[in-house]
Amino acid sequence: MGNKSTFTLITIFLFFCCQVTWAQQVIRGKVTDEQQQPLPGVTVLLKGTPTGTSTDTEGNYTLQAPNGSGTLVFSFIGYITREVPVNNQATINVNLATDAKALGEVVVTALGIKREQRALGYATSTVTAKELTEAGNTNFASALYGKAAGVKITTAPGGATSGVNVQIRGINSLAFNNQPLYVVDGVLIRNNNETGGNGANNGGYWSDQRIRGNGILDINPADIETLTVLKGASATALYGSDAASGVIVITTKKGSKRPGLGVDVNYTYSMEEVAFTPKYQNVYGPGYDRETNLSVGGTEEGWIPVDLDGDGTAESVRPNFRSWAQFGPKMEGQLVPWWDGSTRAFSAQPDNYKDFYQTGYSSIINAALSNQTDKASYRLSYTRNDYEGVQRGGNMNRNTFNLNSTLKVSDKLSADIVANYVKSYVKNRPLQINRLTASYDGFLGRSEDMSVWLNNYQTSAGYKYVLPAQANRNPEEALAYNIRPEILNFLWSQLRNREEENEDRLITSATLNYEIGKGFRLRGRVGNDFTSRSIEGRQYNEYPIAFNENNSTGAYNTSKGRYSTLYGDALLSYTNNLAQNLEVTVNGGFQGRKESYRDQASGTRDGLTTANWFSLNNSFNLPTTSASRAEVTKYAYLGTVSLNFKDYLYLEGTGRQEYTSTLPPANNNYFYPSVNAGFVFTDAFKLPTFLSYGKVRASYGVVGNAPPFYQANITYSQTPLQTINGPVPALSAKASYGNESLKAENKYEAEFGLETRILNNKIGVDLSYYNNKVKNQILQLSLPTSTGASSRISNIGEIHSYGWELALNATPISGVFNWDTRFNFALNRSKVHSLTEGLDELVFYDAEQSAVRVVARVGETIGDIYVYPRATDANGNHIIGENGLYVIDKTRYEKAGNILPKVVGGISNTISFKNFSLDFLVDYRLGGQIVSTPLKYAYGAGMFENTMQYRDEENGGLPYYIDVNSNKVLLPSHNAAAPNGGTVYHDGLLLDGVTAEGDPNTTVVDAAYYYMNTFYWGADSWNKKGSVYDNSFVKMRELVLGYNLPAAFAQKLKFQNLRVSLVGRNLFYFWRTLENLDPEAPIGTQWYRQGIDEGSSAATRSYGFQINASF
Amino acid sequence: MKRVFIYIISITTAFTSLTACKNDLEDNFYNPEETTQASIGGFFTEMLDNNRVRPSYWDIRTFVAVQPGVYTQSLSFGTANSMYQQNAGYVQNRWDDFYRPGADGGGAMAHYRAIEAAYAALPEAEKASAEVFLQAAKVIMFDEASEMVDLWGDIPFSEAGSLNLSGTVLKPKFDKAEDVYNTILTGLAEASTYFASAQATPSFQKQDIMLSGDIDMWRRYVNSLRLRLLMRTSFVNEGTVQQEITEILSNPAQYPLVDETQYNILLAPLTNYIDNLNNALTEVGSFSAPEFMLEQVLKPANDPRIEVLFDKYGRTVNNIFVPNTEFKAMPLNLGSEAQTQTRENYAILDSATFLFNDNLPGVVMTASEVNLLKAEAFERWGGGEPEQVYGLALQQSVEFYYNLNNTSSSTRPKEMLPTAAEMNTFLESPTVAYTGTMQEKLAKIWTQKWVHFGFLQAVQSWSEYRRTDYPQLTFIPATLAGYEAPPTRLMYPSSENAYNSTNYQAVRDKDVRTGKIFWDVK
């Protein structure tokens, strides 16, 4: 319907605007919208006649009408058509109201097939351009937080260069592809396929330390017209093996809908600062428990004696800068020798974590030019984004050009040509801070002042800091005492060394629409997503080459990548009325693509010969080089049949026969069918008037997932070795074993939904329920290496999921003061139904010597966290060891939670009053836990406020003395004296439990010993308390306060429209359960990585302003 | 006209792309950078190219210097509360390097199974010429498997490597340590017979990057390895061991051994290797001379090896290096802060021999060890002159370390081999001379073997230390609860617990750090 009427309107408009009019009465007027803004391009028709015109850029029109009689019809897409009788008026000003029904009426579905919203038998969510850009997000994905039901967004910390994960309807695949397919103007684009199945940042501590981005960051939000989320299997079935995790269909902005030149300029500037920092204690400085302090050569308290004048006797003391634990002396401003050789006050540095970072900024300017003529329309846009994150040493800039044009070759033939060119530069992507949070050589000690680190990471000659052990390299500047070096290493990497990425990406598509005959259309499309990437790394020499022995330091490496996806499809469609009231549309077509990935990397080996000359020719040893190729071919035949009965009953069936090269030749093709139906019962039956609109829908479909390239083949890799026998080839099997009987994984999903609008469209409800099975789950099944490989790609079993999604929108108040609110809620449960024989659980994450695991067990919810519990006796009492600490039971596991949230969603509101508007978005995640081993290490190290407990009398420590047998003996009170004038300590604690023999525990331990041992790395610690935390939050995600300058004023300045707004993102938490970690700290593309923190980077908050102007 | 034109273009495009697609579909399944062709020789070379055998950065830094080097005090180490706690990630690595391909270790088990599979698939006519690979690969795998047993005890063995053998996943059971040893000992006896009449092929000579296809050397290696492992089990099963060892030692024509320096089995570094151990040892503060070795064993005997094992070290004062006046080891009980403050006062590992030597070979079997084994056998069971082979072994050990020093790539000054007179003085010094009760003599043999192994053969050293309890080392207790003393075996890596849990359950009770390997009965 919508299609047809639009078409008719345009035809009429085109036809009549050029007609010669005959002299009659002249009517003038101005057409405005609800905000009193002029509406250009409105069609004005004299009812029942061919006479008509359209409004100009200021909304004015002039029309000749006979005898001052008749009726004027004002119509414009997206507005309710109004009829106004002329009644001899010379001026008719009209205000058009937006048509809530019409907006979003047409939805772009799979393969760019446009369908009416009301005809769909499955759920979709559409996000508008305004929602994507108003808060100044640098990419569209992070602007999706809380905006679409069932779509969970997770942004890796680190800012604009870090990847964003989009998860639609929970976990659809246990292995690789949990990211939706992205289709931009009909072309499938690269997200992160170039890394094969590995994704990015999934390896934790031992893998790539930089926080990587993904391909969707290149899609400029300012160029997006609409974004449609296709969620269920039926909605995405036409995409087959790429669509198991949903599809996001993006349409970029086209040329203006009205004739004449339009210019839009938008500017956003925002500051980014570190937020939600851990609650550190600021009382005690570095030092261990008494026994360890003594064993390292310090005093009981933790001071290290210092012999300043070299006479062999110590006359001063200093803190133990090597100590990772913070159980040492109180920081009271004492002047002490410092590790950099100076004398400094020993005082707490409460803000040192914050000072470790800087204040970043983001500036985005976007200018767009659009025009329309009889033959063509186009929009040309340019965007420049400059960004500096909160981590020191990094920055990014990106230039995006977008051209979207439509050429009308003839009445029957039109072509759409879209070109996106993205040029980006990134220097020193943020580093994960796991070397600081998950290494005992890290930790920002409570007494460490950031400025001292910043002054010492390099020497005055630009070499790396010099440790005391290597003092001969630079005796003057060598550090006086040993430190935990990871912070200096971090600064050296980020501030001295450089890794620069340059990327050019061109996404193009050309579409030919040809109307062959009545009801017959042919659409052909070719597209290309091409990326050329070059990365250069420069590592400076760490010490003068004079100190080189068999190798040098420093490095230069360069790598190049060339990734291309060539895409093509052809679709022939036919529409006809089969019988009265029954319209049939049939589509048949072909879709194919070839992906090609080329990577090449070269680097110096064993350092640089001449200091800081960055060239392969300066390599100390023979330079290294490597190259890899990958080709992927996928194609499919597809068809759809849709029936429309009386515009209230719709039925559609689709089928896709697909072929993919990533599956073994025996199993490389699949058929994916789907069927869906929509029934608008408010049009079929006479119903009470409060029910404005009601529809029920049902669908069923099959989609799939093929493995990434080259993971299933069984091959060997060859290396030429330079040996005593001359060059000899060595052949190695692979640690990830292939599987040539692998099958595609298939998702079967049924979905039911209800859409209603009640009370004159004031309240809208969209409710969906889905239930799916994913069979033949493909997984890199982790194996004990004793099988000969560490993993093998396998079909491992079946998971079942169901979920509810609810989207509510309401306009509680309308008029001059207008309030729109949209709420959404999604619940998803996924269980493992079965696994292949011999397998009863899958272990996704195994940490702390197997003491902490994230698993999927048959019959249970996936993502359960299991830990080694504290040992208990038959009566459930905790067993306390002879050392006074809990005994950990390593023979069994105890469930400690689940990493997946129970419910996610958001509430967004738009409140407008006259020229002011306020938009705010709150999103939430409720239920579920997070695994964070760094929190345990920091807790054991006494970093946090909550580790003050037991340390002294004020914090609940027990009084005791140490007897001659080194036993700690409790004293009745803190004022009691120890026998023989011994020392009384106040940091005792007595754990509640029994000894191995069953007697109540009487072994007193000191606080430091308790924390350091109970929350140390490994399986002997109390992981449930230390490493598993509840993770729920309600967050103020986006806040935008906007002001439209009055039209009169704007026009004086030659603007058609001028708007200024204040924007804020990630402003604060209304509530959160994690106190020493940001709930959104996790990084990584694997689903389970979203529940695991291993030290990423600080969370941020940003705020700034935005100006939108159009001419 | 135009319409026809468009049809033709679209149809042609569609068909050309379709045919192209069909062909690509299968081609693109295989990675063009890799091969699907198995090659027995290629797998064999991969097994030999082993940076766990060669002293490499990763093995020394993450395994030797933090585990066996500490437990045997063949290296010094930083005092820390976790100094006796094994590093799970690094130990996992060491385990994996035996079983799976990739990384540093050559994947002996995986590639041996791949060779077995490829050998079975060969036409009968080609099997004869390929058998030498199969036998040699088996010996290499056995040698490494015995170290696995020495480190962990029961290990997956008979069923291990199923993927490479048959392409199927069989979660392997843990074989009893004794059973693995028995299989290895039987297999080595068979290999000894095979190599006695084997012929090298040109392909074997090329692919054998350790011994260049020298069959005589392979015989010596096999027999010496058998001798080593028999002796290891001699306190459990003395009767059989005595009999078998006597048979080997009494028939040198049938059982030639690595008993002369020229027969040392060494794995040369790749010819383009230029790294060294300086970073590996300095990063963890393990480059100081170990106290017991220098102060209690070498100095009292005025051992000539001191000159090539250690540097005196010293301080740089006003840009001039002032060496220490004597070799003095850093006390073991020094606190970690004092260690770093005063390291310059104490001797360190020799910079030419160890720290900056990119020619250091992997030490597989040396004449000195074999003669010390002989000495022990003769001493315990007779059949030869223990004193003579003991003296020879010390002579060979001195030659061995002087040779490492003299062939060093370092430009630092090299040491001159001691004269015969100096050697005699050394052999006659009371702590070295072959005198005393049988127990005292054995103690000297074992202590000298410990010195000879040093950190380059730290795994062997740890095994012999646990078997013999010599030398009598003392350890400073650590303050980390549960890790006060060094372990007597390594804990299994968590991957077996996680992914092979059914079989792991059977050995869970044995998986404690105080567990003992079956030959550790003293």
Using H for helix, E for strand and C for coil, what is the string for A525-568?
EEEEEEEEEEEEEEECCCCCHHHCCCCCCCEEEEEEEEEEEEEE
B462 touches chain A (CB under 8 A): no
Cα gap B326→B302, rounded to integer Å? 12
Q: Tell me: pLDDT of A267 over 50.
A: yes
CB of A786 within 8 A of CB of B174? no
Task: Give the HSE-up count for residue A6: Cα atoms under 13 Å, Cβ half-sphere.
Answer: 12
Q: What is the pLDDT of residues A737-759, one digit of tens each?
A: 999 999 999 999 999 999 999 88
Cα gap A770→A750, rounded to integer Å? 6
Least confident of A106-115, A225-234, A729-738, A887-896: A106-115
Q: Tell me: pLDDT of A15 over 60.
A: no
Tokens of B362: 């992997």
Closest approach of A479 to chain B, Cα-based (Å): 12
What is the overall mean pLDDT for chain B? 92
Q: What is the pLDDT of residues A993-1043, one digit of tens each?
A: 999 888 999 999 999 999 999 999 888 899 999 999 999 999 999 999 999
Residue A414: which region, alpha, beta or left (left: phi > 0; alpha: psi -120 to 50)? beta
B275 touches chain A (CB under 8 A): yes
CB of A699 within 8 A of CB of A673? no
Query: Are the Cβ atoms of B38 and A631 closer than 8 angstroms?
Result: no
Closest approach of A826 to chain B, Cα-based (Å): 33
Tokens 């015109």 correspond to A53
Could you tell me how many CB contacts below 8 A there are between chain A and chain B? Answer: 296
- DSSP letter (8 states) at residue B417: P
Cα gap A467→B340, rounded to integer Å? 10
For residues A109-126, one letter each, b for 16 or more C-beta atoms within 10 angstroms of the residue's C-beta and e for the rest, the string is: bbbbbebbbbbbbbbbbb
User: B440 CB contacts (<8 Å, ≥6 apart)?
Assistant: none
CB of A796 within 8 A of CB of A266? no
Query: Are the Cβ atoms of A788 and B113 closer than 8 angstroms?
Result: yes
Query: Are the Cβ atoms of A723 and B268 closer than 8 angstroms?
Result: yes
Search chain A and give the residue with CA nearest B352: A549
CB of B372 within 8 A of CB of B445? yes
Cα gap A201→A217, rounded to integer Å? 16
% of chain A exceeding 90 in pLDDT:
59
Number of helical (H) and strand (E) elements in chain B, helices listed first: 23, 8
Q: Is the dihedral of CA A989, A994, A996, A1002 positive or negative?
A: positive
- DSSP letter (8 states) at residue A808: E
What does the pLDDT read at residue A4? Answer: 46
Q: Can you give the pTM of this predicted structure? A: 0.85
Helices (H), A421-492: 434-437, 450-456, 486-491
CB of A701 within 8 A of CB of A673? yes
What does the pLDDT read at residue A14? Answer: 38
Cα gap A1060→A455, rounded to integer Å? 42
B261 touches chain A (CB under 8 A): no
Cα gap A606→A611, rounded to integer Å? 13
CB of B376 within 8 A of CB of B442? yes
Select the residue of A322, A721, A785 nearest B45 (Cβ to Cβ).
A721
What does the pLDDT read at residue A191? Answer: 83
Tokens of A472: 């001969």
Count the Cβ atoms, other than its own, within 10 Å of residue B178: 17
Task: Between B176 and A1052, name the one with better pLDDT.
Answer: B176
Q: Tell me: pLDDT of A558 over 90.
A: yes
Tokens 């997000």 correspond to A137
Query: Are the Cβ atoms of A715 and B163 closer than 8 angstroms?
Result: no
Q: Tell me: pLDDT of A352 over 80.
A: yes
Beta bridge pairs of residue A336: A344
pLDDT band at A764 (very low <50, low <70, confident <90, very high): very high
Q: Are strands A985-989 and A958-962 parallel, antiparallel or unpaired?
A: antiparallel
Closest approach of A127 to chain B, Cα-based (Å): 35
What does the pLDDT read at residue B1? Answer: 47
What is the average pLDDT across A697-726? 92
Cα gap B513→B85, rounded to integer Å? 9
What does the pLDDT read at residue B260? Answer: 95
pLDDT band at A541 (very low <50, low <70, confident <90, very high): very high
What does the pLDDT read at residue A336? Answer: 95
Select the residue of A725, A787, A891 nearest B171 (Cβ to Cβ).
A787
Q: Tell me: pLDDT of A237 over 60.
A: yes
What does the pLDDT read at residue B2? Answer: 55
Tokens of A47: 């009812």
Tokens of A375: 């033959």
Task: Between A139 and A949, name the one with better pLDDT.
Answer: A949
Query: Are the Cβ atoms of A784 and B27 closer than 8 angstroms?
Result: no
CA A369 to each of CA A263, A266, B437, B471: distance values in angstroms, whole numbers, following the listed order: 5, 12, 101, 85
Tokens of B202: 């040109």
Beta bridge pairs of residue A64: A26
What does the pLDDT read at residue A561? Answer: 94
Select the residue of A590, A663, A843 nearest B498 (Cβ to Cβ).
A843
CA A140 to each of CA A160, A217, A243, A480, A1086: distance values in angstroms, whole numbers, following the listed order: 11, 8, 20, 50, 20
Q: What is the pLDDT of residues A356-392, one digit of tens each?
A: 999 999 999 999 999 888 788 999 999 999 999 999 9
What does the pLDDT read at residue A141? Answer: 87
Query: Are the Cβ atoms of B209 and A522 closer than 8 angstroms?
Result: no
Q: Tell me: pLDDT of A110 over 90.
A: no
> Cα-flanking dihedrals φ and ψ of residue B16, to 5°?
-60, -40
B278 touches chain A (CB under 8 A): yes
Cα gap A265→A161, rounded to integer Å? 24
Closest approach of A499 to chain B, Cα-based (Å): 24
User: Cis peptide leading into B471, omega within 30 of 0?
Assistant: yes
Q: What is the pLDDT of residues A907-951, one digit of tens each?
A: 999 999 988 999 999 999 999 999 999 999 999 999 999 999 999
- DSSP state string for A229-296: EE-SHHHHGGGGGG-TT-EEEEEE--S-SSSS-EEEEEEEEEEEEE-S---B--SB-SB--HHHHHHT
Count the Cβ atoms, other than its own, within 10 Å of residue A60: 14
Q: Which residues of B touch A726 (CB under 8 A)?
A: 206
- Coil, helix or strand for B502? helix
Count the Cβ atoms, other than its own, within 10 Å of residue B247: 12
Cα gap B452→B271, rounded to integer Å? 26
Q: Tell me: pLDDT of A89 over 70.
A: yes
- DSSP state string for A509-521: EEEEEEEEETTEE
What does the pLDDT read at residue A59? Answer: 81
Cα gap A160→A650, rounded to integer Å? 43
What is the average pLDDT across A684-689? 84
What does the pLDDT read at residue A11? Answer: 40
Query: Are the Cβ atoms of A288 and B81 closer than 8 angstroms?
Result: yes
- DSSP letter (8 states) at residue A495: I
**Cα–Cα nearest to A768, from A867, A678, A896:** A678
**Cα–Cα nearest to A262, from A336, A350, A339, A371:** A371
pLDDT band at A193 (very low <50, low <70, confident <90, very high): low
Select the residue of A710, A722, A728 nearest B272 (Cβ to Cβ).
A722
**Cα–Cα nearest to A881, from A295, A889, A969, A986:** A889
Chain-centroid distance, C-alpha A277: 20
- The one-letter amino acid code at B438 reads M
Low-confidence ranges of chain B (pLDDT < 50): 1
Tokens 């097994």 correspond to B47
Search chain A and give the residue with CA nearest B6: A514
**Cα–Cα nearest to A724, from B213, B258, B366:** B213
Residue numbers of B between 343 and 402 with CB closer than 8 Å to A: 343, 355-356, 358
Q: Are strands A929-932 and A717-723 parallel, antiparallel or unpaired?
A: unpaired
Beta bridge pairs of residue B482: none
- Coil, helix or strand for B238? helix
Q: Tell me: pLDDT of A254 over 90.
A: no
Q: What is the pLDDT of residues A804-857, one digit of tens each?
A: 999 999 998 888 899 999 999 999 999 999 998 778 888 889 888 889 999 999
What is the overall mean pLDDT for chain A? 89
Q: Which residues of A touch B209 (CB under 8 A)?
A: 721, 723-725, 728
CA A894 to each of CA A870, A897, B504: distance values in angstroms, whole numbers, following the listed order: 9, 9, 18
Altogether, the residues listed in chain B come to a count of 522
Strands (E), B13-136: none
Select the residue of A206, A570, A737 nearest B14 (Cβ to Cβ).
A570
Q: Tell me: pLDDT of A34 over 80.
A: no
